[in-house]
Structure 1
Amino acid sequence: MTDATDEAEERDDGAPIDVLEQYFEARGWACERTGDGEIIASATGSWAQYELRGVWRPDDQVLQFLAFPDIKVGPEKRGQIYESLGLINEQLWLGHFELWSGSGLVVFRHATLVGEGDGLSFEQAEAIAEAAIEECERFYPVFQFVLWGGKSPSEAISAALIDTVGEA
């Protein structure tokens, strides 16, 4: 076997947090373990700096992945943001956005079942992280339009989801 094949097999057989760490490091994203079953990374998007967090629950064989798009909602705007979340979540196939009631933080979250002994592949880690970032990037403007642009949730989602053609 070649060194590349050995490296791929080593990556694919790792615990989910180990594989996420390898993916984050391959992307050049700063990351740190906060325990055996958790890792936090930082990724720069076009709208914000995202905190990414992977939490492994071995008893359930579930990897929970969270992305925080650096949006905090004050009590006066929470009703509008909850309505926005409902409209946004209707558009999603994987994961969902939620508003954490205690802190007012918006978070994108999804979970992946990892069969016992199957492990998480590097490609799966990439797909999980990229899906979270893509959805945060796609819907970040909705939150901005509602929080600072004075738009209603339905106006904000309509404005944010306009498909543009070409480049300016």
Structure 2
Amino acid sequence: MGDSDERDDGAPIEMLEQYFEARGWACERAGEGEIIASATGSWAQYELRGVWRQDDQVLQFLAFPDIKVGAEKRAAIYEAIGLINEQLWLGHFELWSGSGLIVFRHAALVGDNETMSFEQAEAISEAAIEECERFYPVFQFVLWGGKSPTEAISAALIDTAGEA
């Protein structure tokens, strides 16, 4: 075996587990093809989930920014999500109709060898957290700040323009 700087590629869930543990995030396996972790961001505690679909060779990655939307705000949040998703290169936000939870989700086609690198696990995880952090204020502005989705996204993008 190599030293700790050299990591072998491995199954997607194993690589996510290695990455979560390297970050010091609490994580647990939820069955054979799923892992759940908890990561602290600037705005919220995020639940992260990796779900491996071996038949399709796809890793689905979800990040829950701990935002629940009541029925009276759903139309505005759907509009905000539409505006947000136009800004994204990777993944998208959804509002789960059953639970009212907002989730960031994307899928990675892993391929025939069914392995991922540690760096890929890191990139997938960090992209999800970065987008949740970037757009969390939009949801807050709409849900609690009384702003329209257009006002909220304008305000959030102005606030974060200098952080790139």
Give me the TM-score of the superposition, normalised by structure 1.
0.93
- Summarize deviations over 1:22-76 as a string: whole Å, max 9, x none: 0000000000001000000000000000000000000000000000000000000
> Is 1:112 equivalent to 2:108 in the alignment?
yes
* Preserved CA contact (<8 Å) 2:49 2:61: yes
The amino acid that maps onto 1:16 is P
Q: Report deviation, 1:4.
A: 3.7
Q: Report deviation, 1:3.
A: 2.6
- Summarize deviations over 1:3-28 as a string: whole Å, max 9, x none: 346x512xx1x110011000000000
Specify the alignment match of 2:88 in structure 1: 92
Residue of structure 2 aligned with 1:23, choices 5, 13, 19: 19
Specify the alignment match of 1:3 in structure 2: 3
Runs of 4+ in structure 1 deviating by more than 2 angstroms, as ranges, are: 1-5, 163-166
Give me the TM-score of the superposition, normalised by structure 2.
0.95
Specify the alignment match of 1:52 in structure 2: 48
Q: Report deviation, 1:164.
A: 5.3
Number of aligned residues: 162
- Summarize deviations over 1:95-143 as a string: whole Å, max 9, x none: 0000000000000000000011151000000000000000000000000
The amino acid that maps onto 1:3 is D
- Summarize deviations over 1:131-168 as a string: whole Å, max 9, x none: 000000000000000000000000000000004559xx
Specify the alignment match of 2:132 in structure 1: 136
> C-alpha root-mean-square deviation of aligned residues, in Å?
1.4
Tell me how far apart the structure 2 counterparts of residues 88 and 153 of structure 1 sit (CA, whole Å): 9
Specify the alignment match of 2:153 in structure 1: 157
- What SS does the aligned partner of 1:101 have? coil
The amino acid that maps onto 2:80 is S
* Preserved CA contact (<8 Å) 2:11 2:114: no
Tell me how far apart the structure 2 counterparts of residues 63 and 50 of structure 1 sit (CA, whole Å): 19
Tell me how far apart the structure 1 counterparts of residues 118 and 92 of structure 2 sit (CA, whole Å): 23
Identity of aligned residues (%): 83
Unaligned runs of 5+ residues in structure 1 are none
- What SS does the aligned partner of 1:161 have? helix
Unaligned runs of 5+ residues in structure 2 are none
Tell me how far apart the structure 2 counterparts of residues 43 and 155 of structure 1 sit (CA, whole Å): 29
